[in-house]
């Protein structure tokens, strides 16, 4: 412990949170036909923030019908340059309300304010800005001579780790192409999606162009199964991704799936070590490790293993865990009790299977869901912590001797979302990068995002791309 402690520096911007939220359907806030509401909490202290409507199958049907009507009557008929103005308007509103949205995202999800403020919200706005620019240039995304046509009504189901950003990734390209949307946010993090619905309302989009239905997995399943939905875009667990694929098999419905990952993060002995260690920390501890592309399997060259472990052990002690609204916080709250239980269970399995656990030593807040930044040494390829997605601040460290061994170990996973490589040697970087079976490969950096750059996976990490012209094409008819 250092003697110079930071004073607390909590964010003071107060977001507007209503006591009750209805569903956002056809441009209005409506009571759920299910007549059910559920609590949404702040995972950092377990306080209830609001009551949120639960959308049942009848509500899903109403939202899909409103999206269909908006599609036929207004949105697909609108001149593309006009459509762009609305999408720009959403982008500007997110920017104008960025402070409030950042606080809301942090309160509802548990992530540190510095991340929601500097990453989630600006990147969400950036996606709307980027795709607004495409709306009147869609022909350029097509092969010569082919017409750019929208698909229709899109059902979009997003997870809780980047609630607003995942909504932005999905809604922005859908709207730019002339589709209408029914968005289903995750059960634990509905508030920024509902704030986005307010923004859509204020931006005066034609009623029904964007609908937001809060609910749980059954709500999502009803959206997947609705016969009048033309496309499903899903981000979440591999298990649910597989269920969705089975549910729509043989039907005329487009699908993109962005699922889990167990990314290899490879560090060679000639890597710039200071930067590599920061890259490892960013790769696994960003957003408490609730990141599908997290660098959760660290592969280090054997001769630098001990040095890296020493440096990481020291670095762990400097990470600050606590109130997510504090500007100094590096590790915030785990998103939910269920996720905390899952992390604990997998960490226990790592210890039981013989790996060695190293953790930051700090007191955890008494209320709320917290897990200290951790890593395991002595991990075997066969251990569960080397194979399964932990989705928490827990790194598994393995070793290799040659580039080919690193490649073989990196690809020894059912997943294939991202990978990272650290080496000073350009040719080695390229040699390894082109052999990674992963959708995104970061070289001498990690977790870098830009709306113009496509993101997505291979194998059990799903298919389809989000971002860039590739992400745009997922919302255009073939």
User: Which among 281, 280, 71 has a CA at the least distance from the CA of 177?
Assistant: 71
Q: Which residues bind ligand NAI (CB under 6 A)?
A: 157-159, 161, 184, 186-187, 216-217, 220-221, 224, 235-237, 240, 243-244, 258-260, 292, 339, 342, 389, 391
Which of 75, 286 has the CB closer to ligand NAI? Answer: 286
Minimum separation from the CB atom of position 117 to ligand NAI (A): 21
Torsion of CA 76, 79, 83, 85, to 10 degrees: -170
Active site residues: 258, 292
Query: What is the rounded CA–CA span in Å between residue 267 and residue 364?
Result: 31
Which of 165, 321 has the CB closer to ligand NAI? Answer: 165
What is the CA 251 to chain-centroid distance, rounded? 27
Q: Are 270 and 425 in contact (CB under 8 A)?
A: yes
Minimum separation from the CB atom of position 428 to ligand NAI (A): 30
Minimum separation from the CB atom of position 47 to ligand NAI (A): 21
Which of 163, 206 has the CB closer to ligand NAI? Answer: 163
Is 422 strand, coil or helix?
A: strand
SS (H, E, C) 246-277: HHHCCCCCEEEEECCCCCEEEECCCCCHHHHH
CA distances to 186, 216, 260, 325 from 159, rounded to whole Å, are 5, 11, 11, 21
Q: Are 406 and 305 in contact (CB under 8 A)?
A: no
Minimum separation from the CB atom of position 393 to ligand NAI (A): 13
Which of 122, 217 has the CB closer to ligand NAI? Answer: 217
| Residue nearest ligand NAI, Cβ-based | 220
Minimum separation from the CB atom of position 289 to ligand NAI (A): 10
Q: Are 340 and 16 in contact (CB under 8 A)?
A: no
DSSP notation for 20-80: EE-EEETTEEE--TT--EEEEEETTTTEEEEEEE---HHHHHHHHHHHHHHIIIIITTS-H
Which of 127, 184 has the CB closer to ligand NAI? Answer: 184
């Amino acid at each position: 412990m250092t003697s110079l402690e930071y004073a607390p520096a909590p964010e003071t911007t107060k977001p507007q949170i209503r006591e009750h939220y209805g569903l956002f359907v056809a441009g209005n806030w409506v009571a759920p036909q299910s007549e059910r509401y559920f609590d949404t909490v702040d995972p950092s202290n377990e306080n209830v923030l609001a009551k949120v409507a639960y959308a049942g199958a009848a509500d899903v049907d109403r939202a899909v019908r409103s999206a269909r009507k908006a599609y036929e009557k207004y949105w697909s008929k609108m001149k593309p340059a006009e459509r762009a103005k609305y999408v720009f308007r959403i982008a500007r509103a997110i920017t104008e309300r960025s402070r409030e949205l950042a606080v809301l995202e942090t309160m509802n999800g548990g992530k540190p304010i510095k991340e929601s403020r500097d990453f989630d919200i600006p990147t969400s706005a950036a996606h709307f800005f980027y795709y607004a620019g495409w709306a009147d240039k869609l022909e350029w995304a097509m092969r010569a001579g082919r017409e750019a046509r929208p698909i229709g009504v899109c059902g979009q189901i997003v997870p809780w780790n980047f609630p607003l950003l995942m909504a932005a990734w999905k809604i922005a390209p859908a709207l730019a192409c002339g589709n209408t949307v029914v968005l289903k946010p995750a059960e634990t993090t509905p508030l920024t999606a509902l704030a986005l619905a307010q923004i859509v309302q204020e931006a005066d989009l034609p009623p029904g162009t964007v609908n937001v239905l809060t609910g749980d997995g059954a709500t999502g399943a009803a959206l997947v199964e609705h016969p009048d939905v033309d496309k499903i875009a899903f981000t979440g667990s591999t298990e649910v991704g597989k269920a969705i694929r089975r549910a729509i098999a043989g039907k005329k419905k487009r699908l993109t799936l962005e699922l889990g990952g167990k990314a290899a993060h490879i560090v060679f002995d000639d890597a710039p070590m200071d930067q590599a260690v920061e890259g490892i920390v960013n790769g696994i501890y960003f957003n408490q490790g609730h990141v599908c592309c997290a660098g959760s399997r660290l592969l280090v060259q054997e001769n630098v293993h001990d040095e890296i472990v020493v440096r990481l052990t020291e670095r762990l002690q400097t990470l600050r865990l606590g109130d997510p609204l504090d500007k100094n916080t590096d590790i915030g709250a785990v998103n939910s009790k269920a996720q905390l239980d899952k992390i604990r269970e997998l960490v226990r399995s790592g210890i039981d299977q013989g790996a060695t656990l190293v953790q930051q030593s700090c007191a955890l807040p008494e209320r709320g869901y917290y897990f200290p930044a951790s890593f395991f040494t002595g991990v075997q390829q066969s251990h569960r912590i080397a194979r399964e997605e932990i989705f928490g601040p827990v790194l598994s460290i393995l070793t290799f001797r040659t580039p080919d061994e690193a490649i073989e170990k990196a690809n020894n996973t059912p997943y294939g979302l991202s990978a990272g490589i650290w080496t000073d040697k350009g040719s080695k970087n390229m040699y390894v990068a082109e052999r990674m079976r992963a959708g995104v490969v970061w070289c001498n950096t990690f977790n870098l995002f830009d709306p113009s750059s496509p993101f997505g996976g291979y194998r059990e990490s799903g298919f389809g791309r989000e971002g860039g012209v590739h992400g745009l094409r997922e919302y255009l008819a073939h």
